[in-house]
């Protein structure tokens, strides 16, 4: 294996691992019913006076935040892999959001065939929002790093 292919493998392995984790979260093991069994007792512990409707609403928000965060991380990993291949920052950022969006669509399609799961276009929108936020975060961090390196006015 050449140095170049070793480097490519090292860039894309985290993307594949994270995509596999997202796929796993789309299985029957992570249906709302199963995660509620873990999350609701925790919420009851931290918020013992909350009414059941509030606890259910918080459970829903936590599940949607998980979507957002999963795809934020996927987008960052995609950007890292694509930039290592020599793409410009803008091309890598756009491709990262696009690829994450396509993966989100395929993930929702997968859920059609999983008992206890349903496909939801709103989840895709949340996923793509997370991917875009990941690129926004990278851009802000890059801008801050460039400012700290460049000399200021004298």
Q: Furthest-apart CA pair in the chain: how many Å?
A: 65
53, part of any domain = yes
Token pair for residue 60? 């829903």
20, part of any domain = yes
> What is the tens place of the pLDDT at every residue in 92-142?
999 999 999 999 999 999 999 988 888 899 999 999 999 999 999 999 999
Taking 70 as the threshold, does the pLDDT of residue 34 lie above it? no
Percent of the chain with pLDDT over 70: 88
Nearest of 104, 102, 105, 97 to residue 77 by alpha carbon = 97
Q: How many structural domains does the chain have?
A: 1
pTM of the model: 0.85
147, part of any domain = no
Instruction: Confirm if 78 and 101 have CB atoms less than 8 A apart.
Output: no
Q: Which structural domain, as residue segments, surrounds residue 115? A: 3-142
The rounded distance, in Å, linking the Cα atoms of 100 and 78 is 8
């Amino acid at each position: 294996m050449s140095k170049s292919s070793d480097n490519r493998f090292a860039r894309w392995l985290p993307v594949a691992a994270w995509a596999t984790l997202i796929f796993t979260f789309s299985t029957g093991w992570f249906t709302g019913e199963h995660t509620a069994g873990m999350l609701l007792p925790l919420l009851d512990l931290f918020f013992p006076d909350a009414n059941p409707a509030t606890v259910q609403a918080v459970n829903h928000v936590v599940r949607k935040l998980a979507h957002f965060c999963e795809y934020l991380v996927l987008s960052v990993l995609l950007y890292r892999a694509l930039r290592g291949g020599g793409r410009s920052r803008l091309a890598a950022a756009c491709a990262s959001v696009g690829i994450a969006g396509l993966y989100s669509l395929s993930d929702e399609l997968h859920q059609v065939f999983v008992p206890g799961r349903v496909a939801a276009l709103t989840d895709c929108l949340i996923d793509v929002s997370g991917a875009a936020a990941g690129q926004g975060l990278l851009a802000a961090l890059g801008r801050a790093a460039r400012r700290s390196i460049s000399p200021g006015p004298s």
